Structure 1
């Protein structure tokens, strides 16, 4: 009788799920080229007061400036510094030696998105729209019975179908000015028409507001379990040297994420069983003259950040302990939050050991 009990326990251990989590759904959100400095300290005094980068310094300061760092960052990103800071976790404030870094050597967009989504910082060396041969976490989850046909991506940058390997996996990816399906829906018809009217170049980066509206409409209709949303306005503004517009784009995105979280928490399919993971693909130059750019030569380009919110995330707020996290760990962290382990033909970094307290 004892050997039967032992065998039963052994079978339970061998065939138990990787991890028991409350999260049944996850929304992965990336903000292209957003520095950790603005996330944790709000507007930068050297840039908001510089008329080369901020056209109307008086108005920009009225909107986003305060002598107090705590008030300043809350002015810029109120959702981050109210809801996430109270109920989630924020990583990457280097003032506390809490570091999040890219592991790839390039420090620009395609290698960064590859690293975030595949857990493998190799194989991509440029921003050219070439098909990504690395397996990403979205296609991995889409191949699991619990998530099959419940995975979708909405991105402002038009080359994401290549980044996500859609020729191989046929993931539904709505990038750039790709029209939405469900054209019988009056709101989708209106959105598609609006996109047609604002297109300057079909390969251009779509306005983030349009990306968000498209994503939210699709989610409300189809209730996917894994959603990836990638915003692009901050990087576009920064490369043009428009610091005031860069700040405005962050404020807009923070408001959109707040709307998304309200929808999640007011919908019974998502409420209290959905996680948010928010991050960026790369940092930017630290010095005033270099803040517009990012590459392997500019200090600060590898410095990123991470925010988490959901039922499996302890409410630790801003993490102030010495720590080193890498971007390559994000893919398996997404898997871990859904109670699984991301494995494929190429190496995948281990998930992040999340903080359990202040």
Structure 2
């Protein structure tokens, strides 16, 4: 009898904790090179009035308002009308929240390595197509029960097959102009395979438009119901490197709209509704002073270590802008993703993994 009572007591303690965890699926989205300044302040008056903005009157009419709160809501309406109310945002340095890169290189490949492997590897110091030896959190999740074959990535930039090491991880990663290979793909996905090769290649011969990446992600999600989807946009970084502030703002607002549409698709699908977490971030920041440095990033560009992220989901408290006592780092995001799904990310290679940022309500 005592043994039975003990078992019942333990069950009463454990079962509520298990029942409380509602997150079953995860969507991760990155906006390459998107500055925290625009996320939290909206359009930058210095850049709007500079040589980097064409059609100044038109751009001001579209994006300018008296306060940072008004401007950011214009630029990122979904972020500030939905995520800010239902989730959490980190990295508003004006409010005392600091989110940063731990890697010293402050450009794309090292940034994505840090995000997905959980540590800043000094060997990952190039954007060249080298194969990443480090186990990543998407690979780890793909090996967990119920997630096998249910993790996928779509990206505009062509480098993710190397960053996520598809030869070792076995992850399906469709980057650049790679066609979806599923023989049973629906008509829309097959059309996208054709369409992407006929769209203007204004980002070069290897990087496709974010619109195509978004459409692939949305259509794949509708047909195949992945448990984890990673979608990587690139155009904000490209427009900034070109010194085109108008296009940078246009792409930022466009990507916010893509995220809104994807979230609405999720909330209208019984498979995902009310059990899916969304995490949005960037791979690096950009410069701010001197003004020309907004175009670039890297070890020599002050401010390019400054980043941000946002998270929303059924287990995440609706805290809005969070001001943690200590600086958060992108090396913590891999374990944060794992924890959102109830896992503890352990890298087989034995490398360190940053501690999760406590976004999950206990």
Structure 1 residue 125 corresponds to structure 2 residue 113:
no
2:263 aligned to 255, 261, 264, which one? 261
More displaced stretch, 105-114 vs 120-129 = 120-129
Which residue number corresponds to residue 137 of structure 1?
137
Structure 1: which 5+ residue stretches go unaligned?
Answer: none
1:295 aligned to 298, 302, 316, which one? 298
In the TM superposition, what whole-angstrom CA distance separates every residue of 1:190-217 from its partner, at most 9, and x where no partner exists?
2122111126498521110110001111
Distance 1:2 1:55 in 2: 78
Distance 1:355 1:72 in 2: 29
Which runs of structure 2 are paired with 1:1-358 in the superposition (5 Å)? 2=2, 21-50=21-50, 52-122=51-121, 123-182=123-182, 185-198=186-199, 200=201, 204-287=206-289, 288-320=291-323, 322-344=325-347, 345-354=350-359
Runs of 4 or more consecutive aligned structure 1 residues displaced over 6 Å after TM superposition: 7-19
Distance 2:93 2:36 in 1: 8
Q: Contact between 1:17 and 1:339, CA under 8 Å: does it hold in 2?
A: no
The 3-state SS of whatever aligns with 1:269 is: coil
| Cα displacement (A) at 1:76 | 0.4
Distance 1:257 1:105 in 2: 30
Q: Contact between 1:30 and 1:281, CA under 8 Å: does it hold in 2?
A: yes
| Cα displacement (A) at 1:281 | 0.4
The 3-state SS of whatever aligns with 2:213 is: helix
Number of residues of Structure 1 aligned to a counterpart in Structure 2: 355
The 3-state SS of whatever aligns with 2:230 is: strand
Task: Summarize the Cα distance change of 1:11–1:76 in structure 2 as closer, same or farther, 3 Å threshold.
Answer: closer
The 3-state SS of whatever aligns with 2:99 is: strand
Structure 2-normalised TM-score?
0.92
Distance 2:134 2:21 in 1: 27
| Cα displacement (A) at 1:252 | 0.2
Distance 1:94 1:9 in 2: 46
Distance 2:343 2:12 in 1: 16
| Cα displacement (A) at 1:14 | 11
The 3-state SS of whatever aligns with 2:278 is: strand
Structure 2: which 5+ residue stretches go unaligned?
Answer: none
Q: Contact between 1:182 and 1:188, CA under 8 Å: does it hold in 2?
A: no
The 3-state SS of whatever aligns with 1:352 is: coil
In the TM superposition, what whole-angstrom CA distance separates every residue of 1:2-34 from its partner, at most 9, and x where no partner exists?
467658878999999999521000000010001
Alignment root-mean-square deviation, CA: 2.3
Distance 1:191 1:68 in 2: 41
The 3-state SS of whatever aligns with 2:28 is: strand
